[in-house]
Amino acid sequence: MSTSIGKRELDETGRKLLERAMRGREEFEDLVIVPIFAVIVALILGALVMLATGVDLETIGRSFVALAKGSFGSINAVSETLTSAIPLVLAGLGLGLGFRAGLFNIGAEGQILMGGLAAAIFAFSFPGLPSFLLIPLALIAGALVGAIYAGIAGVLKAATGAHEVITTIMLNLSSYLILIYMLKRPYVQVAGRSDPVSKSVPPAGELPRLLDWLDPNLRLHAGLFLMLAAVAFVWWVLFRSKIGFAFRASGANPDAARYAGMKSGLIIVAAMASAGALAGLAGAAQVQGVLWRATPGFSAGIGFDAIALALLGRSHPVGILFAGILFGGLEAGGRQMQVDAGVSIDLIGIIQALIIVFIAAPLLVRALFPWGFARAPKGGK
Amino acid sequence: MTAVTTNPAAETLEGSSARRARITGGILIALALLVVFVLDVGAGSVATFKLTTARDAVQVGDLVVPGQFNYIAAAIIAFLGARQFLRGGGKWTSLSIGLGLALAVMAFLVWATADKSFNLTGMLQATMVRAIPIALGGLAGVLSERVAVVNIAIEGMLLAGAFTGALLGSVLGSWLGIVGAVAIGGLFGLMLAALVVTYRMDQIIAGVVINLLVLGLTSYVTSQVLAKPEFRHLNNAEVFRSWKIPLLGDIPVIGPMLFNQNIFVYGALILVAVATYYLFHTKGGLRARAVGEHPRAADTLGVDVYRTRYLHVTLAGMVAGFGGAWFTLGSVGRFDENMTNGRGFIGLAAMIFGRWHPVGALMAALIFGFADSLQQKLALLNTPIPSEFLAMAPYLATIVVVAGLIGKARPPAADGQPYVKE
């Protein structure tokens, strides 16, 4: 009897040691190989969808060339890619931060709308301010309102246990209506228009374009630096600061975090508010950098794409940055594809969704491509 | 949906129920004050509600309500609130809230129609119609969450059903359109089940992904194929007309609401009845609920947890597919990109509001449908309340319910958790 137990313990230790050695390899697989497989398979399936809708092979080839050209093929393409990536990455960082803290925030869409609206209102309310004050203050207004809007869900969860998925969905649905209501107020609406459109952001409040010395049509704006700074800042918060440790601890094991003396309610509210601030910043950057005004539903699904982004980037700031550039590239390339090959840009939505299926279900990718991985998947992981 | 997670630090059972009684009492008293001061109708004016139109077989006179009604309503609400505040709690809580809200809504209608006339029956009929996709979405949610699979994908399943209904309905006729919509809904249900049961993907992520995938696929095919002039005929299905049940359809008010509707309304009512009977009065339903509450125990007793989950999530998808067909075959006959427009999420809210019960989900859907049609009619009556706030009311009410401020909604115990067989 005792020998058999000893043997089992030995096996156990051996397995653990092996696992420790394997771990680097497995993390590499999860972080690099799975996403690469996911993108390739999604593109192949995208081609199959095109075939199924009667697009001939030559056009499919042309559309992939256009996709590549439109995303990274020229200076204009790169500019468009990065422009699309800015709000995606900012909102994605917020969602990733929430995921790390164990919060599933579906509400980025509403937080973007509220933040963008706040930035627009602030900017046209103080047209006299100089740029170096107006730009940051309007951005801060957007972040603040986004934080408050997300904070509602955080406070409700902390105080009553209301699940953030439901509350943020409801806050999203409400935000569309609040936006339309606000856009119809005489103070906000452009004079002489009957449809709900806000007044324009004054030139002093616009994020300056970075490449207009090359070509005035290049839309890349200073939000790029905001995005990079946010990536660095979120990385520092998550992995180097005390509050970030509290976020990650309560995300990984809420009970343990509580027993360690962390205030769970406070952490939930802080994490939700930070996520909302980043989403609000995304909305503000979009309004001040690209759109210059707020219109109904101007977020155009960025908040939902950002969920996909945060998953793809594994809730790691650097991963989210790369995922955002990938999605921005798909977005920009998709527009080119529509022009060059006549294939609808909605195909990009399919490809993005497929990428996430494969990313979020690594077991599925491992089942599809067993040869790409070091060892067979074990059930129960 | 795991709407209420236990928060040990927050409350003891006793304290929370007393607190809730005070909150509900406070809300009712505030409501009474609102009715008295904001919805104040001059004593001389009357509100006229039309119950029948000239074409109806049975004629009933108009319902004429004098302005004093609002004072009486306010008094009753205030009494209920005060009782709740002082004595509080118990089985009276939900009843008081329900009665108070109903009276407040009536007072609101009287105020809005003061010195005007308003087609009440028409609005109730519209309420029923608008409630249908929400009710079917909610029922789909009940079916899958009762076996502990969170179903955020209802929105996508509705959209898939709407698309398939329009496409197949145009080619093969409307009946086969419904069959196709149900089948596609079931297919996405099966996909959700496979992702979360077999591949153990996070349930919320799986739902979000299915929504994105369906939105992408349907939008792509619509803009790539159906928008072209030579394929227009593929997106032009015949709409199901309403079918009046003889005799019953002639009853004033109730007749047009319940017995003079199209197949989707009848179908939804039957499905709700069947689902209620199945879940709460049959062996299969008991087993399904056991899987949702305590899968390990159910497994020990020989219930196949995986198969039960697969089956019910697929069924939920079929119900949602049927509900999706309403958007095209029951309403306009053609598919537009993203035409469900968040109705699936509202269905999810209806499920929570209805406390994971099919009949509850239907009732909640009716409330949402009522708010929706009221908001449309109010534009005609020129009330000073912005229609956006009225449209928002159901969402805010859902948040209030989820937060447990009024009544407590308890999800199935194992909701959202994957099950790993040992």
Q: What are the tens digits of pLDDT across the range B239-251? A: 888 888 887 877 7
Helix (H, G, I), strand (E, B) or coil at B114: strand
When CB atoms are compared, the residue of A166, A181, A347 closest to B1 is A166
The helix (H) or strand (E) run that includes residue B272 is: helix B263-281
DSSP B229: G
pLDDT of B11 above 50: no
Q: What is the average pLDDT across A126-154? A: 92
Q: Do B403 and A167 touch (CB under 8 A)?
A: yes
Q: Do B404 and A353 touch (CB under 8 A)?
A: no
* Domain extent at residue A166: 86-328
* CA–CA gap between residue A61 and residue A341 (Å, rounded): 9
Contacts 24+ apart (CB under 8 A), A26-35: A26/A374, A29/A372, A29/A373, A29/A374, A30/A314, A30/A362, A31/A314, A31/A319, A33/A372, A33/A373, A34/A358, A34/A359, A34/A362, A34/A365, A35/A312, A35/A355, A35/A359
Of residues A282 and B406, the one with the higher pLDDT is A282
- For residue B49, report the phi and psi dihedrals to the nearest 5 degrees: -110, 120
Name the residue in chain A with its Cα closest to that of B402.
A162
Closest among B213, B181, B219, B218 to B195, alpha carbons compared: B213
Which residues, in sequence order, are bridge partners of residue B13? none
A173 chain-B contacts, CB cut-off 8 A: 342, 345-346, 392, 395
At B255, the pLDDT band (50, 70, 90 cuts) reads confident
pLDDT of B234 above 60: yes
B9 shares contact with chain A (CB less than 8 Å): yes
A379 chain-B contacts, CB cut-off 8 A: 420
At A196, the pLDDT band (50, 70, 90 cuts) reads confident
pLDDT of residue A121: 94
| Pairing outcome for strands B260-261 and B243-244 | antiparallel
**B237 and B179 Cβ atoms separated by less than 8 Å:** no
Q: Do A177 and B389 touch (CB under 8 A)?
A: yes
- The string of pLDDT tens digits covering residues B135-193 is 999 999 999 999 999 898 999 999 999 999 999 999 898 899 999 999 999 999 999 99
Q: What is the average pLDDT across B117-139? A: 88
In this structure, of B52-66, B189-203, B349-363, the range with the lowest mean pLDDT score is B52-66
Interface-testing mutation among A155, A160, A330, with chain B (most B C-beta atoms within 10 A) = A160
Residue A100 lies in a domain: yes
Assigned token pair, A85: 């990536």
Q: How far is B150 from chain A (nearest CA, A)?
A: 11
Q: How many inter-chain contacts (A to B, CB under 8 Å) are there?
A: 156
Q: What is the average pLDDT across B322-348? A: 88
Residues 6+ apart with CB under 8 A from B391: A177, B371, B372, B375
Closest among B364, B362, B357, B335 to B184, alpha carbons compared: B335
Spatial strand order in the sheet of B46-50: B63-66, B46-50, B117-119
pLDDT of residue B382: 67
Q: Do A363 and B199 touch (CB under 8 A)?
A: yes
Query: What number of other Cβ atoms are within 10 A of residue B228's Cβ?
Result: 10
Residue A194 lies in a domain: yes
pLDDT of B410 above 90: no
Residue A134 lies in a domain: yes
Report the phi/psi class of residue B246: left, alpha or beta, with left for phi > 0 and alpha for psi in -120 to 50: beta
Assigned token pair, A64: 């992939």
pLDDT of A1 above 70: no
pLDDT of residue A282: 95
**H helices of chain A, where?**
2-28, 34-52, 57-72, 75-100, 108-125, 131-160, 164-183, 223-240, 242-252, 254-259, 264-286, 302-312, 317-341, 346-360, 362-368
At A164, the pLDDT band (50, 70, 90 cuts) reads confident
Q: Do A170 and B395 touch (CB under 8 A)?
A: yes
Q: Please, which residues 138-157 of chain B have a Cβ atom closer than 8 Å to chain A? A: 152
* CA–CA gap between residue A207 and residue A222 (Å, rounded): 6
pLDDT of residue B81: 84
pLDDT of residue A13: 60
The single residue listed with the structure tokens 């809007």 is A149
Interface-testing mutation among B399, B405, B420, with chain A (most A C-beta atoms within 10 A) = B399
pLDDT of residue A377: 45
Q: Please, which residues 334-363 of chain B have a Cβ atom closer than 8 Å to chain A? A: 337, 342, 345-346, 348-349, 352
Q: How far is A208 from chain B (nearest CA, A)?
A: 33
The helix (H) or strand (E) run that includes residue A106 is: none
Percent of chain B with pLDDT strictly greater than 70: 91
* CA–CA gap between residue A331 and residue A327 (Å, rounded): 6
pLDDT of residue B208: 85
Q: Please, which residues 181-210 of chain B have a Cβ atom closer than 8 Å to chain A? A: 195, 199-202, 204-206, 208-209
* CA–CA gap between residue A126 and residue A132 (Å, rounded): 13
Closest among B317, B374, B326, B362 to B184, alpha carbons compared: B317
Residue A343 lies in a domain: no
Identity at B290, one-letter amino acid code: A
Out of B107-121, B231-245, B354-368, give the one with best mean pLDDT.
B354-368
B209 chain-A contacts, CB cut-off 8 A: 308, 353, 356-357, 360
Percent of chain A with pLDDT strictly greater than 70: 89
Closest among A192, A171, A195 to A294, alpha carbons compared: A195
Residues 6+ apart with CB under 8 A from B287: B298, B303, B308
A349 chain-B contacts, CB cut-off 8 A: 212, 215-216, 219-220
- What domains can be seen in chain B, in order of their start residue? 1-115 (no CATH), 124-402 (1.10.3470)
In this structure, of A20-24, A30-34, B39-43, B273-277, the range with the lowest mean pLDDT score is A20-24
When CB atoms are compared, the residue of A178, A181, A360 closest to B205 is A360
**A232 and A222 Cβ atoms separated by less than 8 Å:** no
pLDDT of B8 above 50: no
pLDDT of B407 above 60: no
Of residues A157 and B11, the one with the higher pLDDT is A157
| Pairing outcome for strands B117-119 and B260-261 | unpaired
When CB atoms are compared, the residue of A264, A307, A344 closest to B220 is A344
pLDDT of residue B9: 42
Residue A212 lies in a domain: yes
* CA–CA gap between residue A132 and residue A154 (Å, rounded): 33
pLDDT of residue A3: 44
Q: How far is B192 from chain A (nearest CA, A)?
A: 11
Residue A197 lies in a domain: yes
pLDDT of residue A14: 59
**B289 and B146 Cβ atoms separated by less than 8 Å:** yes
Query: What number of other Cβ atoms are within 10 A of residue B85's Cβ?
Result: 17
Residue A6 lies in a domain: no
Helix (H, G, I), strand (E, B) or coil at A355: helix
In this structure, of A350-354, A376-380, B350-354, the range with the lowest mean pLDDT score is A376-380
Percent of chain B with pLDDT strictly greater than 90: 28
Identity at A207, one-letter amino acid code: L
The single residue listed with the structure tokens 């958790």 is B417
Residues 6+ apart with CB under 8 A from A47: A60, A64
Name the residue in chain B with its Cα closest to that of A179.
B388
Which residues, in sequence order, are bridge partners of residue B243? B261
Burial class (CB in 10 A: 0-12, 13-18, 19+), A243: middle
- The string of pLDDT tens digits covering residues A309-343 is 888 888 889 989 999 999 999 989 998 988 888 88
pLDDT of residue A379: 40
Closest among B382, B316, B359 to B143, alpha carbons compared: B316
Residue A32 lies in a domain: no
Q: What is the average pLDDT across A281-296? A: 91
Q: Do A181 and B388 touch (CB under 8 A)?
A: yes
At A356, the pLDDT band (50, 70, 90 cuts) reads confident
The single residue listed with the structure tokens 């309503």 is B73
Closest among A223, A234, A325 to A277, alpha carbons compared: A234
Closest among A112, A103, A127 to A178, alpha carbons compared: A112
pLDDT of residue B214: 93
Q: Do B388 and A265 touch (CB under 8 A)?
A: no
State CA B165 to chain mean position distance: 21
ipTM above 0.90, yes or no: no
pLDDT of B12 above 60: no
When CB atoms are compared, the residue of B215, B348, B402 closest to A162 is B402
Domain tally for chain A? 1
B221 chain-A contacts, CB cut-off 8 A: 53
Q: Do A171 and B9 touch (CB under 8 A)?
A: no
Q: How far is A301 from chain B (nearest CA, A)?
A: 10
Q: How far is B262 from chain A (nearest CA, A)?
A: 28
Report the phi/psi class of residue B416: left, alpha or beta, with left for phi > 0 and alpha for psi in -120 to 50: left
Burial class (CB in 10 A: 0-12, 13-18, 19+), A189: middle
At B2, the pLDDT band (50, 70, 90 cuts) reads very low
Which residues, in sequence order, are bridge partners of residue B66? B46
**B85 and B25 Cβ atoms separated by less than 8 Å:** yes
B205 chain-A contacts, CB cut-off 8 A: 311, 356, 360
The helix (H) or strand (E) run that includes residue B49 is: strand B46-50
pLDDT of residue A25: 57
First to last CA, chain B: 25
At B50, the pLDDT band (50, 70, 90 cuts) reads confident
**A350 and A46 Cβ atoms separated by less than 8 Å:** yes
Q: How far is A40 from chain B (nearest CA, A)?
A: 17
Helix (H, G, I), strand (E, B) or coil at B343: helix
pLDDT of B126 above 60: yes
Q: Do A349 and B391 touch (CB under 8 A)?
A: no
Q: Do B7 and A161 touch (CB under 8 A)?
A: yes
- The string of pLDDT tens digits covering residues A217-263 is 888 888 899 999 999 999 998 888 888 888 888 888 878 888 888 88
pLDDT of residue A4: 45
pLDDT of residue A15: 62
Q: Do B220 and A304 touch (CB under 8 A)?
A: no
pLDDT of residue B309: 93
Q: What is the average pLDDT across A347-363? A: 83
pLDDT of residue A375: 53
At A11, the pLDDT band (50, 70, 90 cuts) reads low
Q: How far is A282 from chain B (nearest CA, A)?
A: 21
Q: Do B220 and A49 touch (CB under 8 A)?
A: yes
B159 shares contact with chain A (CB less than 8 Å): no
Q: Do B388 and A177 touch (CB under 8 A)?
A: yes
